[in-house]
Amino acid sequence: MTIRIGVVTFPGSLDDQDALRAVSYAGAQAISLWHKDTDLNKVDVVILPGGFSYGDYLRCGAIAKLAPVMTEIITKANQGLPVLGICNGFQVLCESGLLPGVLTRNKGLHFTCRDEKLEVVNNSTLWTKDFETNEKIVIPIKNGEGCYQADKKTLDQLVGNNQIVFKYLDNPNGSLLDIAGITNEKGNVVGLMPHPEHAIDELTGPTNHGLRLFTSVIKNLVGISK
């Protein structure tokens, strides 16, 4: 069985090609989806890539959530479709209501581009089964609006339900609770600011740690996950 993983391209997406390549590299069939698509072309998994959809106008991800393709993604995600949002994709997931909270301007106002040390907090999501809990990994970040904020009740829920997936070891942007990535309660939707698609091979990235998000979801779907 070949897993079909779709990567959505919005106007202003930048990392859709790297995400498609990471999907192929991990052993799945990479399918390009377009923001105007109303059908998901029978994909088993959806990735919302990084970039600056619609120029980040209004708020990051706020216009992308209204794209025709998102209607089907939101419906299917609520039914259990595995969805990964990377950077701008994470922002789109928060704006869409698939994940709680919001990403705002980095505390120091700087656009930050560096290799980031992370701790894997939750390895039970569809996207993190190939990691160990408390494992330290390195994946690059590159964003201007990566500061995770939510009200206290939401933060308490994230902690109580073990919905924090990745934490920064050296918080680069003021994110509350050092949050780098979270999941929904079901564990099928994950969003993170770091870019796993840029860390799939040591030849072109700082590590190959990012590849394991893609292999996790693939193994889970073919039924060989732990």
- CA nearest 122: which of 164, 80, 85, 167? 164
* Number of residues located near other proteins, criterion CB under 8 A: 20
Active-site pick, 95, 116, 145, 197: 197
Beta bridge partners of 127: none
Q: Considering only residues 48, 64, 69, 147, which one is a binding residue for other proteins as defined by CB under 8 A?
A: 147
107 binds other proteins (CB under 8 A): yes
The two tokens of residue 72 are 């089907």
The two tokens of residue 94 are 């928060």
- CA nearest 100: which of 48, 148, 46? 148
* Residue ranges in 177-216 that form contacts with other proteins under rule CB under 8 A: none
Q: Considering only residues 22, 62, 158, 190, which one is a binding residue for other proteins as defined by CB under 8 A?
A: 62
> Interacting stretch for other proteins, rule CB under 8 A, among 6-14, 21-29, 35-43, 55-63?
55-63
DSSP 170: S
C-alpha 6/C-alpha 4 separation (Å) is 7
Query: How close are the terminal C-alpha atoms of the chain, in Å?
Result: 18
For residue 197, indicate whether it is catalytic.
Answer: yes
Active-site pick, 60, 87, 94, 147: 87
CB 107 → other proteins: shortest distance, Å?
6
In the complex, the residues that contact other proteins under the rule CB under 8 A are 58-59, 62, 66, 94-95, 100-102, 104-109, 147, 149-151, 174
